[in-house]
Chain A
């Protein structure tokens, strides 16, 4: 259908409906169609996940109506995903944090008490000054997730610390980013720089795009499917994209590196590599050819269960499509502890296909050159985050959250205080509850800034209620994309209850710490306007359009024969990594067989469901209605063996004795008999999350076998096993 400009319609219909119609049998009155009241809209950037789609918030008669995608936005293509569309639920959630809370002891029992902002901020700034005076400001660490964390990083740095970590690194995409940097000198970026809409062949390796709703990823994959891309999905589970694929390779879990090496073996032995690209840009090809010689499809078949002819055929499909071929880097890459090496193998395979920074492979993202608001330089910290765990994980390019937690336990611990923003550590770090309790007992200060009463708030000394993304300004979105673009998040409503925007909280703390010069704005709008003026826009303009796209300054792909300096020590793509060898690691990925599944146990596989961003959204009243609980996928043979019926509730037990909350079984052929699967983010313990508390099971508390990647410190979580505990009727 043809689209038209949005029309404001007066409330004519709304009033006529109130007049009793002449013929009224049922005694009901038809509600006026939506949008017949006074409608207004304002721009936002979605905060339902990290993808940061730009959208438009619609109000009707002053009430929140709906949120839709901004047509000019590359992240969303004008369409929000399920969670983004469910954004009103975040604002309307009755369980939101409403007032600052402080831990107090009443009659010998600890409890939280509502306090004024003044009291809460005074307490925090006194404690922060105490830590700075006794141990140094670097001993205050921040653990964070999400765009709003920027305000508190700014505060932290002005305070004199740069100690911070986000679980998004060591519990998610860290090994991928490090593996790509070690190989091609850059990360796979966020949003991922995959040029899927132009690809002719795509490999998804355990990446279930479509079950995750990383918006532009989903949209470009759908575009590729519409153009008849050859989709190859490698996954032990019949995932949503597996069902859309020409080839589904139901691989034996944990054997992915073997498959990747076999594909390289085929490309090299059948002379299918892009030799011009490799001659120009790569080093180490001879060593690689020698290295992969033993990984023949016949040998790898025994490990992976993928037949040799399928390995050869799919390798040839990739070569035929190259350079418009993508071996997708994935995102959640923390699987078996050799994850940096697996990600390196993926990057190397893309290099053999010549697809890195080529059309239909990967593109070169570009940002807006946006000046920072002029403020004094930050003081130079004496320590960095990595000094808390010296000698460990030499290629960790960001703070390692599990390292920070370990360095926060005990009287002589490195860290003395935490500022936790937007991350629910009890669910985002595997099997961490005892450590969190120990850290909370050791730290002088533990502040949690949140919109919801997550489990993490239960560990805090002080809980600061932030307002939702629909009630605040945050920084301009300036992520690398196909075109440079800026997007604005602005308040559509005044903050509900006594919640406050992050920028306000950070500034108030800054003022109390004598750091006023770092917070020269009265309102964050001033800072955003100044930045926008520097690039030829203004806050006024952005409040109307929400997204501004800028022309590219350099090409989207490598030009033919272009000279390129890669950001690696050799300035080339490093198929052989001398820097890994120098630190005692394998210079090229080596396959290690996974631990076998103990008898009577099943591999615990976990992932996403499209209705939720893990535990962040399970209490959202709109999304809760769509997907109230997670389900445990069980193969029919396994269900039969245990006499488990579809829709029955069971509990799961780990080898170390952890027992899960009860979870509903979904008997399905979409999973093999060696594994079970559940969506992560359920089984909440916080009773203050009234919809989701106690609903479904939490995979992370069943994990006792964590495989730390020695290269960069991430926590591999796919090496865990569970068995059934049947619910008594």
Chain B
């Protein structure tokens, strides 16, 4: 399996939401729905504070419970990669994947009647481009690439910087990393 990862630097993320709007226009996401979102976490009391901004989305888990629990095979790993897609033709809208996702990263329902989600912009990845959110980010805090390539920017960052994933204890082996 080819493993693609997103590495997001919380040191320079400003929580501006450009990633959210870029995803919406690139992927023509219907009104009222989002495939990615920004979380702000503030700790401490005035004036001893820290704030972390995180751009969040599907973690494209290598061990994706949404894929294993999908009764129809609509949720699948795309082209022997970790990119998780939903095949609309096979999706019955049963929402088992929503229940199975520990990250609450799936859209409730596309108006066309299937469960929609972040695709890591696989249509761009195929062309050698970064996902739309990554290539729009004004602070360049988002990085994308292959974990199989030891020289990739994402591997370099993970080697040299402290990082975390969200809810690692799920065992889902998520592929969105946050530099801290």
Bind each other: yes
Residues of A within 8 A of B (CB): 1-4, 7, 21, 23-31, 33-36, 65-69, 77, 79-82, 85-86, 88, 210-211, 213, 215, 218-219, 222, 225-226, 238, 240, 243-244, 248, 250, 610-611, 621-623, 625-627, 635, 668-673
Is A225 within 8 A of B21, CB to CB? no
Q: Shortest Cβ distance from A629 into chain B, in angstroms?
A: 14
Q: Shortest Cβ distance from A214 into chain B, in angstroms?
A: 10
B residues in contact with A34, CB < 8 Å = 26-28, 123
Tell whether B91 is near chain A: CB-to-CB under 8 Å: yes
State whether A79 and B136 are in contact (beta carbons under 8 Å apart), knowing that A85-B21, A672-B46 are contacts in the complex: yes
Extra 10 A-B pairs, beta carbons < 8 Å, given A25-B92, A26-B93, A80-B138: A1-B145, A29-B89, A33-B123, A69-B136, A86-B25, A211-B14, A213-B16, A238-B42, A248-B47, A669-B46
Report the Cα distance A411→B154, complex, angstroms.
Answer: 69
Is A25 within 8 A of B12, CB to CB? no
Report the Cα distance A226→B145, complex, angstroms.
Answer: 20
State whether A611 and B17 are in contact (beta carbons under 8 Å apart), knowing that A26-B92, A225-B12, A668-B42 are contacts in the complex: yes
Is A213 within 8 A of B113, CB to CB? no
Within 8 Å by CB of A26, from B31, B91, B135, B145, lies B91
Report the Cα distance A671→B50, complex, angstroms.
Answer: 13
Q: List the A residue with the shortest CB-CB distance to B114.
A: A28
Q: Shortest Cβ distance from A232 into chain B, in angstroms?
A: 14
Is B112 within 8 A of A25, CB to CB? no
Is A28 within 8 A of B129, CB to CB? no
Is A610 within 8 A of B14, CB to CB? yes
Is A669 within 8 A of B21, CB to CB? no
Is A3 within 8 A of B25, CB to CB? no
Is A4 within 8 A of B16, CB to CB? no
Q: Shortest Cβ distance from B147 into chain A, in angstroms?
A: 13
Is B31 within 8 A of A635, CB to CB? no
Report the Cα distance A219→B92, complex, angstroms.
Answer: 44
A residues in contact with B139, CB < 8 Å = 210, 218-219, 222
A-B contact list, 22 entries, CB within 8 Å = A25-B72, A26-B88, A28-B114, A30-B88, A65-B25, A79-B137, A80-B18, A85-B21, A86-B25, A210-B14, A218-B14, A218-B138, A222-B138, A238-B47, A238-B49, A240-B14, A244-B12, A625-B31, A625-B32, A626-B20, A669-B49, A670-B49
Report the Cα distance A669→B50, complex, angstroms.
Answer: 10
B residues in contact with A77, CB < 8 Å = 138
Within 8 Å by CB of B74, from A26, A69, A80, A670, lies A26
Q: Shortest Cβ distance from B89 into chain A, in angstroms?
A: 5
B residues in contact with A7, CB < 8 Å = 127
The winner among B17, B32, B125, B135 for most chain A CB atoms within 10 A is B17
Q: List the A residue with the shortest CB-CB distance to B34.
A: A625
A residues in contact with B56, CB < 8 Å = none
Is B129 within 8 A of A85, CB to CB? no
Is A81 within 8 A of B16, CB to CB? yes
Q: Shortest Cβ distance from A716 into chain B, in angstroms?
A: 25
- Tell me the chain B residues, 145-176 only, with Cβ under 8 Å from chain A: 145
- Tell me the chain B residues, 3-34 only, with Cβ under 8 Å from chain A: 11-12, 14-18, 20-22, 24-28, 31-32, 34
Q: Shortest Cβ distance from B119 into chain A, in angstroms?
A: 8
The 4 closest A-B pairs by CB, nearest first: A33-B123, A222-B139, A210-B14, A610-B16
Interface string of B62-83 (1 = CB under 8 A from A): 0000000000101000000000
Q: Shortest Cβ distance from A60 into chain B, in angstroms?
A: 9
The winner among B89, B125, B128 for most chain A CB atoms within 10 A is B89
Residues of B within 8 A of A (CB): 11-12, 14-18, 20-22, 24-28, 31-32, 34, 42, 44-47, 49-51, 53, 72, 74, 87-93, 110, 112-114, 122-123, 125, 127-130, 132, 135-141, 144-145
State whether A3 and B128 are in contact (beta carbons under 8 Å apart), knowing that A26-B113, A66-B26, A80-B136 are contacts in the complex: yes
Q: List the B residue with the shortest CB-CB distance to A36.
A: B123
Is A621 within 8 A of B25, CB to CB? no
Report the Cα distance A3→B110, complex, angstroms.
Answer: 31
Report the Cα distance A244→B53, complex, angstroms.
Answer: 11
B residues in contact with A610, CB < 8 Å = 14-18
Is A79 within 8 A of B138, CB to CB? yes
Within 8 Å by CB of B25, from A31, A67, A225, lies A67
State whether A27 and B136 are in contact (beta carbons under 8 Å apart), knowing that A66-B26, A88-B25, A625-B31 are contacts in the complex: no
Within 8 Å by CB of B90, from A23, A36, A244, lies A23
B residues in contact with A82, CB < 8 Å = 16-18, 20-21
Report the Cα distance A21→B31, complex, angstroms.
Answer: 27
Is B89 within 8 A of A26, CB to CB? yes
Q: Shortest Cβ distance from B86 into chain A, in angstroms?
A: 8
B residues in contact with A225, CB < 8 Å = 11-12
Is B51 within 8 A of A243, CB to CB? yes
Report the Cα distance A339→B127, complex, angstroms.
Answer: 52
A residues in contact with B89, CB < 8 Å = 21, 23-26, 28-30
B residues in contact with A250, CB < 8 Å = 46-47
Report the Cα distance A687→B22, complex, angstroms.
Answer: 29
Report the Cα distance A2→B145, complex, angstroms.
Answer: 9
Report the Cα distance A648→B73, complex, angstroms.
Answer: 44
Q: Shortest Cβ distance from B50 into chain A, in angstroms?
A: 7
B residues in contact with A219, CB < 8 Å = 138-140
A residues in contact with B18, CB < 8 Å = 79-82, 85, 213, 610
A residues in contact with B72, CB < 8 Å = 25-26
The winner among A25, A26, A611, A635 for most chain B CB atoms within 10 A is A26
B residues in contact with A25, CB < 8 Å = 72, 74, 89-92
Report the Cα distance A7→B127, complex, angstroms.
Answer: 8
Q: Shortest Cβ distance from B13 into chain A, in angstroms?
A: 9
Is B123 within 8 A of A35, CB to CB? yes
Report the Cα distance A218→B137, complex, angstroms.
Answer: 11
Q: Shortest Cβ distance from A636 into chain B, in angstroms?
A: 8
Is B141 within 8 A of A240, CB to CB? no
B residues in contact with A626, CB < 8 Å = 17, 20-21
A residues in contact with B17, CB < 8 Å = 82, 610-611, 626-627
Report the Cα distance A81→B16, complex, angstroms.
Answer: 8
Is A26 within 8 A of B129, CB to CB? no
Is B21 within 8 A of A243, CB to CB? no
A residues in contact with B34, CB < 8 Å = 625
State whether A81 and B91 are in contact (beta carbons under 8 Å apart), knowing that A1-B129, A610-B14 are contacts in the complex: no
Report the Cα distance A69→B22, complex, angstroms.
Answer: 11
Is B138 within 8 A of A3, CB to CB? no
Is B90 within 8 A of A26, CB to CB? yes
Q: List the A residue with the shortest CB-CB distance to B71.
A: A25
Q: Shortest Cβ distance from A585 into chain B, in angstroms?
A: 35
A residues in contact with B26, CB < 8 Å = 34, 66
Q: Shortest Cβ distance from B105 into chain A, in angstroms?
A: 18
B residues in contact with A243, CB < 8 Å = 49-51
